[in-house]
Chains A and B, each alone.
Chain A
Amino acid sequence: MMMKRFLTHGILAALLGGLTPCQAQEVPLQRADELEVTQRQSAELFDTVVPVVREASASTVWVWMNRKQVALGTVVGSGDKVLTKWSEIALATTPIQVVAGDGRTATASVLGVYQDEDLALLQLDRDGFHPVTWSEEPVPEVGRFLIATWPDGRPKRVGVVAVDERVLKESHHAFLGVAADSDHRGPGVRVAYIDDSGGADEAGIREGDVLLKVDGIAVDSGFELRDALLSKQPGDTAVVELRRGDELKSVEVLLGHRAEDRSRAFPEARLRSMRSLGGPISVVGNGFPSAIQTDMQLRPEHCGGPVVDLDGRVVGISLARADRTRSFIMSAPQVVELLKNEPLSPNAIEPAPGRPGTRQVAAPNQGRAQPLDPRAAGRLRNHLEEMQALLERMEREMQGIGE
């Protein structure tokens, strides 16, 4: 049975049935000759980029844990440290092993953790690994090709920059603290209500005021208002020109930050079922301080490795497979900056609350090679998996009711 989903919701939402395993051909109407053409084309594309990834592949390592290759790592420092994906190794119950493409192997311990980026810095028990050279070019913009490396020297995935580098962490976005009245048609944005976490309240903005300009930029919709604040950070000030009745006023607002739980334009439950369509996604997949979005079809165990451009320059490190359409890359300049900071000791990490738009994550409070009581780690993982399975079942059943 062919399974398709229409990509919106509304009155036809019921058409979007629950997720059923698709045993049939990946693309039901694809003819043998079409399959052959696309396979040959993929092979051609990958052969073409082999010379491009050669150098960075030498700095790419497999990270093994509990007899499974769970992530990639990028060799940094003088060849005795590796940057990798923290959430994939956090529950290690056996020593973490690092393996390079030439067979060189080391045992690793967690030196520290960059929790917001979900990256761990590993200390290897031997050196001689090939450290990465970060690109000093500007961050690649939309449409640029990106290639994920693999330790064996073959390119692993090819994609393009989908969205320019941006802040994904909600609390790093400046917040004025007003909700726009959607019934109001411009000019200006009428304030439906005031959210006291933003600064508008303090500055004396009231419900019913019509905001006309932010720092001299005219705003005629809630979305334009948000856009006008994009270059601002929490703690910055903005000059807001507004109309109250017949009176024109200008106020200075000290901007706050957005709450983490942000309501989305698209219903979360329906999206969740689409997000993992086509492959598994990372446990921590979103909410990073800074990332490039790409359409590269990574798997969770591909994350943590270098990403290069067509000149073979290492332009970043893969952070996560977020969902069906998105993977996130941290740019080289950001990684270089990050590595200047002392990472948090793995013993000092607080259990992280769930981030918006990600699967529930439970960061354990320790992350060394054998940090937890193995049985406790096992219980925690089982519990998480059970919760996930339960949620998915409930979701399927809810959708069944809708049909």
Chain B
Amino acid sequence: MKLTNVFHGILAAALVATAAGREPLRSVDDLRGLEDRVRAVAAQAVPCTVALISGETGASGSGVVTSAEGLILTAAHVTAGVEEVEVVFPGGQTEIGEVLGSNFSKDIGMVQIRGEGPWPFVKLGQSDQLEAGDWVVAVGHSEGYDPVRKPPVRFGRVVSEGPGNFLTTDCTLIGGDSGGPLFDLDGRLVGIHSSIGESLKNNNHAGIGGFREDWERLLAGEAWGELSLNPLANPERPVIGIRMGLELRDGGVPVEAVTNGSPAAEAGIRRGDVIRSVDGSRIRGGRSLGLQLAKFAAGDEVKIGIQRGREMFETKVTLARADKLFEP
């Protein structure tokens, strides 16, 4: 009988370990399990986290090696304006990296190490399913490469998803971390550090999903897009394709016009409708509508709450990319 109980214990532990990083914490033992995973991720990630230094501009950021052949993922703004960077591994080994493509709208870029591998590398994960509460581990060469220490490890969780491919965590970042890797608890790469806001909870990362969409173009060395500090000005932001009227005092947004062939048109939204909610969350004015939509990516399906006269209903809309809809 006793033996069976032991087996139940082991099985339960195994189940917890394989589930997403969002299990409730009930005991110190749950925390020990979490700690073990953070340690394992850190041990695997640190040797693959490189500093990228540009001799021309003096810029210093981070990157992460994702293949034995030396393909590095980083942030677009780390390699902006240069063709070559110094790639410095923890421990001091220094190689030359060729800057490949960059999409500035997503703040993602690639660098290829010139030297022959094999290089230590991390595996790619998924960022699309990440949500608030998922545990993550961040690594990066904070404040630039420092020969007396390995790149610092930080632990936290997703606090907000979006805009677009981006996500926000409370893993604190600072200058030099840009381009560094964010991992899930299985040690798979889910994001690349991009920017910070004032709050300690406002650390923004470009999700790995954005790389997947643009993989071939980045690999081919194309550079495009526009770096934006404002998600409502990002050319790749998701839209439904309406012109907004003056917002109502209660926060509703009247539809003044519907763009032909837009997701709104396809979903049957009409001029004169008042938009009330996005996926069940009430909106409070035009900016609020824009920010709520910005949390999704083009191609996502959302439920838009509409008031038409006295009638209230929800309609499903597949979001389009602003740059493609307005300037095809």
> Complex formed: what's the CA distance from A164 to B148 in Å?
10
Q: Given contacts A2-B230, A221-B94, A293-B152, are A266 and B176 in contact (CB under 8 A)? A: yes
Which residue on chain A has the smallest CB distance to residue B204?
Answer: A4
Cβ-based interface call for B291 (8 A): yes
- How near does chain B come to A321, taking the closest CB pair, in angstroms? 11
Partner of A221, one of B61, B93, B281: B93
Partner of A29, one of B30, B46, B199, B294: B294
Q: Given contacts A10-B80, A275-B174, are A48 and B32 in contact (CB under 8 A)? A: no
B197 with A8: CB separation less than 8 A? no
Which residue on chain A has the smallest CB distance to residue B231?
Answer: A29
Interface of chain B: mostly helix, strand, loop or mixed: loop
B window 64-88: CB within 8 A of A: 75, 77-78, 80-81, 88
Partner of A182, one of B55, B159, B161, B204: B55
Partner of A28, one of B88, B94, B170, B197: B197
Contacts of B173 in A (CB 8 A): 7, 324-325
Cβ-based interface call for A249 (8 A): no
> Complex formed: what's the CA distance from A106 to B27 in Å?
36
Cβ-based interface call for B13 (8 A): no
> Complex formed: what's the CA distance from A22 to B178 in Å?
22
Residue interface mask B129-170, A partner, CB < 8 A = 1: 001110000000011111111101111110111110000101
A223 with B147: CB separation less than 8 A? yes
A266 with B144: CB separation less than 8 A? yes
- How near does chain A come to B210, taking the closest CB pair, in angstroms? 16
B159 with A38: CB separation less than 8 A? yes
> Complex formed: what's the CA distance from A290 to B318 in Å?
56
9-residue interface stretch from B36-44, B116-124, B246-254, B302-310: B36-44
Interface of chain A: mostly helix, strand, loop or mixed: loop
Residue interface mask A139-151, B partner, CB < 8 A = 1: 0011111000000
Contacts of B96 in A (CB 8 A): 185
Of the listed residues A12, A29, A144, the one surrounded by the most CB atoms of chain B closer than 10 A to its CB is A29
Partner of B28, one of A48, A220, A222: A48
Number of interface residues, chain A, beta carbon within 8 A: 79
Q: Given contacts A264-B143, A278-B198, are A29 and B291 in contact (CB under 8 A)? A: yes
Of the listed residues A31, A167, A326, the one surrounded by the most CB atoms of chain B closer than 10 A to its CB is A31
A34 with B195: CB separation less than 8 A? no
Contacts of A361 in B (CB 8 A): none
Contacts of A33 in B (CB 8 A): 132, 281
- How near does chain B come to A231, taking the closest CB pair, in angstroms? 11
Partner of A7, one of B131, B153, B196, B201: B196
Contacts of A28 in B (CB 8 A): 197, 202, 291
- How near does chain A come to B94, taking the closest CB pair, in angstroms? 4
Partner of A274, one of B43, B53, B174: B174
Contacts of A323 in B (CB 8 A): 174
Which residue on chain A has the smallest CB distance to residue B159?
Answer: A38
Q: Given contacts A37-B133, A145-B31, are A162 and B94 in contact (CB under 8 A)? A: no
- How near does chain B come to A299, taking the closest CB pair, in angstroms? 11
> Complex formed: what's the CA distance from A342 to B275 in Å?
72
A142 with B176: CB separation less than 8 A? no
Partner of B38, one of A160, A167, A219, A264: A160
Which residue on chain B has the smallest CB distance to residue A275?
Answer: B174
Interface residues of chain A, those whose CB is within 8 Å of chain B, are: 2-12, 15, 19, 22, 26-35, 37-38, 41, 44-45, 48-49, 51-52, 141-145, 159-164, 166-167, 173, 182, 185-186, 219-227, 230, 264-267, 270-271, 274-275, 277-279, 293, 295, 297, 310, 323-326
The 18 sampled A-B contact pairs (Cβ below 8 Å) are A6-B107, A7-B173, A8-B176, A8-B178, A10-B57, A10-B58, A10-B81, A30-B159, A30-B168, A33-B132, A35-B159, A38-B133, A44-B25, A45-B25, A141-B39, A143-B41, A265-B176, A266-B176
Which 4 A-B pairs have CB atoms at the shortest separation, nearest pair first?
A265-B144, A10-B59, A223-B92, A143-B39
Given contacts A45-B31, A278-B198, 13 further A-B contacts (CB under 8 A): A2-B231, A6-B194, A8-B178, A27-B199, A29-B168, A29-B295, A41-B157, A160-B38, A162-B154, A221-B94, A264-B144, A274-B175, A326-B152
